[in-house]
Chain A
Amino acid sequence: MLSYLIRRLILVLPVAFGVSVICFLLVQIAPGDPLTAIMPVDATAEEQAAMRAAYGLDKPLPVQYAIWIGNLAQGNMGKSIATGRPVAGEVFGAVQNSLLLAVSAAIIAFPIGTFLGFLAGYSRDSWIDRAVTALSITGVSVPNYWLGIVLVIIFSVNLGWLPSMGAGPGGSQSWAWDWLHLRHLILPAVTLAVVPIGIVARTVRALAGDILTMDFVQALYAKGMSRADVLRHVARNAAATALSVMGLQLGYLLGGSILIETVFNWPGSGFLLSNAIFQRDLPLLQGTILVLAMFFVAMNLIVDVAQAAIDPRIQRT
């Protein structure tokens, strides 16, 4: 197990390096001179050159990258152009809110998806199977930002049951653990849960269906094991793959909540990202993307290691 862990950790390094290069290049592909935002229009060529030197923009790209990564290692992600505050603080505050939303959606989606998938896989080709298949294909096809709007129309506009904006009363941007705030979490979390419900149900259905046709299931029944005990064996065999799909989905939930956060004005990383985009706040854009991508890389790593811990066959490959 330890050697597997070390091997897997080493594999992460080049990916993390690549991710940082892409985030660095994001600012380079942005059109326009980054200085125009901060320089007065009538700045002389010398003033511009001085400013360029002050920001290190006169150095070749690899050197700029090295400086950037060096600062990053010390937790310095630069300052936001719009607010002047350090990017790191802004990003981590927002990521916490996004994580809350993503985990809530996962808590809704994973049990429902697993249950539906297992039910469908167990009763292959029945009406239940067809209903679950139809539901999961609908789930993966629906644009969730539109679904969010439809839920707002039903539950906020027509029924008036749930709030549609912000994380707290009056569209507040800060979170607290009470019912007044939790009410605000319901609609975005449910909206975000729909796609993973579809994906998890589809995965578990295929897994359960395949495992149930394996010989060992027949053997277990033949030796007189009860149905519940056989299903426990099936579940254990499906667990490693199912968990890895769910782990990746959690990563997607965090990165993919951007559109939903916009719909519900949720004060998370997506909200921060769209602000950064519209104010052309490139350091903030870069920092947010970097943190979200690194989180996804870490999630991948955790999933792989967990999968290997559950299923010893994986370590050998």
Chain B
Amino acid sequence: MTLVETTAVEPAPAQKPQGYWAGVGARLVRDPLTMICAGVVLALILAAVFAPWLGLADPYKGSMIARLKPIGTTGHLLGTDEQGRDMFARLIYGGRLTLFIGLMPVVLAFFIGSALGIVAGFVGGLTNTIIMRTVDVFFAFPSVLLAIAISGALGAGIVNSLVSLTIVFIPPITRVAEAVTSGVRALDYIDAARATGASALTVIRVHVIGNVLSPIFVYATSLTSVCMILAAGLSFLGIGVRPPEPEWGLMLNTLRSAIYINPWLSALPGMMIFVTSLCLNLLSDGLRSAMNVRD
């Protein structure tokens, strides 16, 4: 073996050293489970976005005589709901609101929470105390309870759901951002940068953000699955999306009345929530190991 190896050595071709993101990409591509999950999530998002051009039935058009048709009915691949509307079309269209309300709050909370956490971690002192003690208060609420409390007080509606879920996810992201930033701030290169006379803003912009963003990002992706479940849960309770909009949680709620007539049909919207949330979780796990983030 040694002989083969020594003879096989050739001058290595001049290679550009692989960057961090290229490495992450290469590791992701070699991870089949993560790629499958990424594919499923991407397919759901694309189907939802391009739903009007997919030649689906009208998701709002009901029919009194074609109510609760079973899965596999001709003309209605996945049957019809309690108002005779095509289930397949409603499930695809349902992805629009469900995915939007399920993912957007984490995106918003990522920006707001990162900003708060980086400021708290970098500035320290009183600023840190004020921000982090406020965050602690929000941790006194289980996330489901907080989401329902705020949505319940504000009332149903898409914007209200977005607001309440964003508020739910800002505190955990802020806490992680603060912890990571405090760790980075103690490193020598920050002192070095300051010694050269760089302003606090420059140090944050040039030296801190690049080093803290990927752990915060990975943490944020791990919240998307919970956010999806909560967003659909709010609609399920009747304090999220209003009828007749197609939304998976709301559909699950309205189809509960059909549970004795056509049970598996009524479980379909929940199946969509489950598959999406599972894929988001696995995708986040894959990202975490590809990006070498330890928790």
| Cα of A258 to Cα of B271 in the assembled complex, Å | 20
* Contact in complex: A26, B153 (CB < 8 Å): yes
Q: Which of A143-157 contact B (CB under 8 A)?
A: 143, 145-147, 149-150, 152-153, 157
Q: Which residues of B contact A158 (CB under 8 A)?
A: 263
A14 to B137, CA, bound (A): 8
Q: How far is the CA of A147 from the CA of B236 in the complex (A)?
A: 13
Q: Are A152 and B273 in contact (CB under 8 A)?
A: no
A252 at the interface (CB under 8 A from B): yes
Asked, given contacts A31-B155, A145-B252, A276-B152, whether A22 binds B233 with beta carbons under 8 Å apart, the answer is: no
The interface of chain A, by Cβ under 8 A from chain B, is 14-16, 18-19, 21-23, 26-27, 29-31, 137-138, 140-143, 145-147, 149-150, 152-153, 157-158, 251-252, 254-256, 258-259, 262-263, 273-274, 276-278, 282, 285, 289, 292-293, 296-297, 300
A23 to B145, CA, bound (A): 12
Knowing A142-B277, A152-B259, say if A282 contacts B264 (CB, 8 Å).
no
Q: From residue 235 to 285 of chain B, which have CB atoms closer than 8 A to chain A?
A: 236-239, 252, 256, 259-260, 263-264, 266-267, 270-271, 273-274, 277-278, 280-282, 285
Name the interface size band of chain B. Answer: 35 or more
When C-beta atoms are compared, the residue in chain B nearest to A152 turns out to be: B259
B38 within 8 A of A: no
Please, which residues of chain A bring their CB within 8 A of the CB of B260?
157
Q: List 23 A-B contacts (CB under 8 A).
A: A18-B134, A18-B140, A19-B137, A19-B140, A19-B141, A30-B154, A141-B274, A141-B278, A142-B274, A145-B233, A149-B256, A149-B259, A153-B267, A157-B263, A256-B142, A262-B236, A274-B238, A277-B148, A277-B238, A292-B145, A296-B145, A297-B140, A300-B140
Contacts of B267 in A (CB 8 A): 146, 149-150, 153
Interface, chain B (partner A; CB < 8 A): 133-134, 136-138, 140-142, 144-145, 148-150, 152-155, 225, 229, 232-233, 236-239, 252, 256, 259-260, 263-264, 266-267, 270-271, 273-274, 277-278, 280-282, 285
The residue from B229, B232, B236, B264 contacting A153, defined by CB atoms under 8 A apart: B264
Best-buried of A255, A273, A285 by chain B (most CB within 10 Å): A255
Complex CA–CA separation, A66 to B264 (angstroms): 52
Q: For the complex, what is the distance from the CA of A138 to the CA of B275, rounded to whole Å?
A: 10
| Contact in complex: A289, B149 (CB < 8 Å) | yes
| B139 CB, min distance to chain A CBs, angstroms | 8
Which A residues are CB-close (under 8 A) to B141?
19, 22, 255, 289, 293, 296
- 8 Å CB contact of A285 from B133, B153, B232: B153
Asked if A137 and B281 sit within 8 Å, CB to CB, the answer is yes
- Measured between alpha carbons, how far is A75 from B138 in the docked complex, in Å? 24
Q: Out of A27, A141, A276, which one reaches B281, CB within 8 Å?
A: A141
Q: Is the pair B233, A143 in contact by a Cβ cutoff of 8 Å?
A: yes
In the complex, the answer to whether A15 meets B152 with C-beta atoms within 8 Å is no
| Given known A-B contacts A141-B225, A146-B270, A259-B237, A285 and B152 have beta carbons under 8 A apart | yes
Residues of A within 8 A of B285 (CB): 137
| CA gap between A214 and B262 in the complex, in Å | 55
Return the chain B residue nearest A256 by Cβ.
B144
The chain B residue with its CB closest to the CB of A146 is B270
B142 is contacted by which of A23, A145, A252, A285 (Cβ under 8 Å)?
A252
When distances are taken between beta carbons in the complex, the residues of chain B under 8 Å from A143 are 229, 232-233, 270, 273-274, 277
Question: Judging by beta carbons under 8 Å apart, are A277 and B140 in contact?
Answer: no
A27 to B154 Cα, complex, angstroms: 9
Nearest A residue (CB) for B135: A18
Contact A141 B264 (CB under 8 A): no
Do B150 and A259 touch across chains, with their CB atoms under 8 A apart? no
* Cβ contact within 8 Å between A29 and B277: no
Instruction: Say which residue of B144, B145, B270, B277 sits within 8 Å of A141 (CB atoms).
Output: B277
Q: Closest B-chain residue to A29, C-beta based?
A: B153
A292 to B149, CA, bound (A): 11
Q: A157-B260, A255-B142 are in contact. Are A137 and B150 (CB under 8 A)?
A: no
CA distance A219 to B187 in the complex (A): 36
CB within 8 Å for A29 and B154 given contacts A137-B278, A141-B277, A255-B142? yes
Q: List, in ascending order, chain B residues with CB within 8 A of A146's CB.
A: 252, 267, 270-271, 273-274
A282–B153 CB distance below 8 A: yes
Question: Within the complex, what minimum Cβ distance (angstroms) separates A142 from chain B?
Answer: 6
Closest to A150 in B: B267
Cβ contacts under 8 Å, A263 to chain B? 256
| Residues in B whose Cβ lies below 8 Å from that of A289 | 141, 145, 149
Query: Which residues from A are CB-within-8-Å of B237?
Result: 258-259, 262, 274, 277
A259 touches B278 (CB 8 A): no
User: Measured between C-beta atoms, what is the minimum distance from A233 to chain B in Å?
Assistant: 26
**Chain B residue contacts of A256, Cβ below 8 A:** 142, 144-145
Q: Is the CB of B259 within 8 A of A29?
A: no
Contact (Cβ within 8 A) B152 A273: yes
The answer to whether B232 touches A293, judged by C-beta atoms less than 8 angstroms apart, is: no
Q: Given the complex of chains A and B, what is the CA–CA distance between A145 and B266 in angstroms? A: 13
Which 5 A-B pairs have CB atoms at the shortest separation, nearest pair first? A146-B270, A18-B137, A255-B142, A255-B145, A277-B152
Contact A145 B236 (CB under 8 A): yes
Alpha-carbon distance A259/B145, docked complex (angstroms): 10
Contact A153 B140 (CB under 8 A): no
